[in-house]
Amino acid sequence: MIDRVITEAVTYRVAVAALSYYDGKEDTQPGYSLRDDVRWCLEPLKGEVSSAAETTFTWLVSSTITDPTANRERLSNGLAAVST
């Protein structure tokens, strides 16, 4: 289990990334990468969860950034499952 402060940091970062994301951003903003946003969001989890969990969170974070309404509950539930 990981500290709740870490999961809150991930949640905050995903919210920031999702608020600034729009379809086509990678095409209209040179240097922007969704992959970089996902890495930034997951930084607090580095070394705190298994590689399998990291893979799952990578998908959850990416999906939540690009479609928050459809995916935020899954991300929140996933983070709650690993939080103390």
Which has the closest alpha carbon to 63: 26, 30, 38?
Answer: 38
- pLDDT for 49 equals 94
Q: Residue 18's domain spans which residues?
A: 4-82
On average, the pLDDT of the chain sits at 96
Determine whether 74 is exposed, middle or buried from the number of CB atoms within 10 Å of its CB (0-12, 13-18, 19+).
middle
Give the model's pLDDT for residue 65: 98
Q: Domain total for the chain?
A: 1
pLDDT at 1 over 90: no
| Residues above pLDDT 70, as percent of the chain | 100
Q: Which pTM does this prediction carry?
A: 0.93
When pLDDT is averaged across residues 52-71 and rounded to a whole number, the result is 97
Instruction: Flag whether pLDDT at 40 surpasses 90.
Output: yes
